[in-house]
């Protein structure tokens, strides 16, 4: 596989802020190989298009999903839903064409398409 998940749930600095480390929630992800590259589906409830941030830097693909704050009208009795943002990092093989990364979001499910370089398509299963 040309997309390798890196260690998840490590505290990371938030972009543009002080050096405080924050804890992200790891979204559930499916990775599918296609003729043209890979499709990554990340489940990130509470994340809309404005809250989705995709970056490719130094061979790493980072998916960040910033949740909108959940409104609570009463006194919490029991809470399992966290307001943490989502983060997932993948190491990309050099054959991945990082100029061909496209994303769309629908109902909390992020669809990310990562294209392969033409030379590597012949090696796909």
Tens digit of pLDDT at every position of the chain (125 positions): 577 777 665 556 555 555 456 778 899 999 888 887 888 888 988 888 888 898 989 888 899 998 877 777 888 888 887 778 999 999 888 888 888 888 877 766 667 777 765 444 444 44
The reply to whether CATH 2.60.40.790 applies to domain 22-68+83-121 is yes
pLDDT for 93 equals 84
Distance in angstroms (rounded) separating the CA atoms of residues 107 and 114: 21
User: Which of 61, 75, 57 has its CA nearest to residue 110?
Assistant: 61
Measured in degrees and rounded to the nearest 5, phi and psi for residue 38 equal: -135, 150
1-to-9, 48, 64, 77 alpha-carbon distances in Å: 22, 29, 22, 44
Could you tell me the residue ranges of all domains in the chain? 22-68+83-121
Is pTM, for the whole model, over 0.85?
A: no
pLDDT value of position 122: 42
């Amino acid at each position: 596989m040309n997309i390798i998940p890196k260690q998840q749930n490590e505290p990371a600095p938030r972009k543009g802020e002080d050096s405080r480390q924050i804890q992200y929630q790891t979204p559930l992800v499916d990775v599918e190989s296609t003729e043209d590259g890979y499709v990554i589906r990340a489940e990130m409830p509470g994340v809309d298009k404005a809250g989705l941030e995709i970056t490719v830097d130094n061979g790493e693909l980072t998916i960040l999903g910033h949740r909108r704050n959940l409104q609570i009208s009463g006194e919490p009795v029991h809470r399992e839903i966290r307001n943490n943002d989502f983060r997932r990092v993948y190491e990309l093989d050099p054959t991945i064409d990082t100029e061909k990364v496209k994303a769309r979001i629908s109902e909390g499910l992020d669809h990310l398409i990562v294209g392969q370089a033409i030379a590597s398509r012949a090696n796909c299963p």
